[in-house]
A = this chain, B = another copy of it.
């Protein structure tokens, strides 16, 4: 696998967007957001999406120069009409407001409407936690989960993201899809001719199958519980924002690229200082995660992690060694760099 430096690729994405007429705020949010996900090892939501994002921009689905419009409805709540911006830009704009609301009134929540794919939910949750608040970040997504007992995918594997600041390290971060595996993983298994773990997906008749070619919907984590969590996220993202719900949203890949997605997101910040001293909270969270990491191990060579630990390990490694790119993406980035006369170096 070839690698490229984080700074190099983030700069490339930013400059390409700028030259495609995207405003500075959006270019910055998208280039940071995609790089953020790749750095943490969440490649499905990382720089490989840039090709799709550019295509969606050029086809008119995404608005590179959005007029953001907030309606503040109470001391702690606001709605953002994102004007079909890149989801990363819409989300980051909303999160800045969420933090301001919580600073002033203890809690802040922003509902986002008319948005698009926002990448990894952690990008927004972690921004809240870096401001010494507890963050929650949600989006709905393409239908991949069938209701328990139903045959057809209806809800997305809508992510639940929770973050909290911690002494002496990056915030803890749970960023989980509500399915046991992702559809990208199913595609990978198909490509490599491998079986899926039994119980990770259903065929068109709603029966569990290990054949990735037969999988049309994903198993929610814990069965009806994961389905319930998906429904919770759908209610927060679609019903508080007047966005379409379930299979009625605009689909990422299956709809024409000039069609709007009209996605909704929901962000919540809890101002820790309004409950306990922030310093004491962070100190006690450090104690809690330290006790968890020091638990006696089942296998001596497998560490006990806390939510976000694997991503911290990967971040450190990739910051040093660079982000992996496959040859297709490398070629794509190389072409963009050449076309716009921008630097792009493969590290090895």
Q: Which A residues lie at the B interface, using CB under 8 A?
A: 73-77, 79, 105-109, 111, 134, 146-152, 154, 160, 162, 164, 172, 174, 176, 180, 205-207, 221-222, 224-229, 231-232, 234-236, 238-242, 245-246, 268, 270-272, 274-276, 280-281, 284-285, 288, 291-292, 295-299, 302-307
Contacts and interface: CB of A to CB of B under 8 A. Distances in A.
Contacts of A235: 134, 162, 164, 172, 285, 288
A222 B147 CA distance: 17
Contacts of A238: 288
14 contacts: A73-B274, A74-B107, A76-B76, A147-B306, A149-B297, A149-B302, A174-B225, A176-B228, A205-B298, A221-B221, A231-B292, A239-B285, A245-B284, A246-B291
Given A106-B109, A152-B295, 18 more contacts: A74-B271, A75-B76, A77-B107, A107-B108, A107-B109, A109-B270, A154-B295, A174-B231, A176-B229, A180-B222, A205-B298, A206-B298, A221-B225, A235-B285, A239-B284, A239-B288, A242-B280, A245-B288
A147 B73 contact: no
Contacts of A164: 235, 239
Contacts of A226: 221-222
- Closest 4 A-B residue pairs measured CB to CB? A221-B222, A74-B106, A206-B298, A150-B295
A155 to B, nearest CB: 8
B146 A305 contact: no
Contacts of A225: 174, 176, 221
Contacts of A292: 147, 150, 154, 231, 246
A77 B104 CA distance: 11
A77 B274 contact: yes
A232 B162 contact: yes
A236 B239 CA distance: 25
Contacts of A307: 224, 227-228, 231-232
Given A106-B77, A296-B151, A222 B224 contact: no
Contacts of A232: 162, 174, 307
Which among A77, A107, A154, A288 has the highest number of chain B CB atoms within 10 Å? A107
